[in-house]
Amino acid sequence: MATKTGSINIRIEPALRADAESVLDDIGMTISEAVTVFLKQVVHVGGLPFTPRRPRYRPETIAACMEAPDIAARGQGEKNLDVFLEGLKSDA
């Protein structure tokens, strides 16, 4: 194995780092190891090792889905259903 002598400094949101560290910890990897794997794959495939895509749903739609159980519990579902369904149509 080659001696590690280089370093990369990146700026990321603290919450993203914490979330990534949590996931990577569960699979037994550090961020440094994950970045190394990523870069090796970039070299191996000659580009990104995945296809970048925009999120399928807008943040507003995701927030509405998360809020839906509370709305239903309060009996307010009917008046907000049309707004919710329109949001889903615009994400398609």
Between the alpha carbon of residue 9 and those of residues 42, 61, 89, 91, the distances in Å are 18, 34, 41, 36
CA separation for the pair 50, 76 (Å, rounded): 41
**Token pair for 42:** 């970039």
**Residue 5: φ, ψ to 5°:** -125, -10
Q: What is the reported pLDDT for 34?
A: 96
H or E, element range at 19: helix 14-26
pLDDT along the chain (92 residues), means of 10: 83 95 96 96 96 83 85 67 75 59
Q: What is the reported pLDDT for 73?
A: 78
Q: What is the reported pLDDT for 79?
A: 60
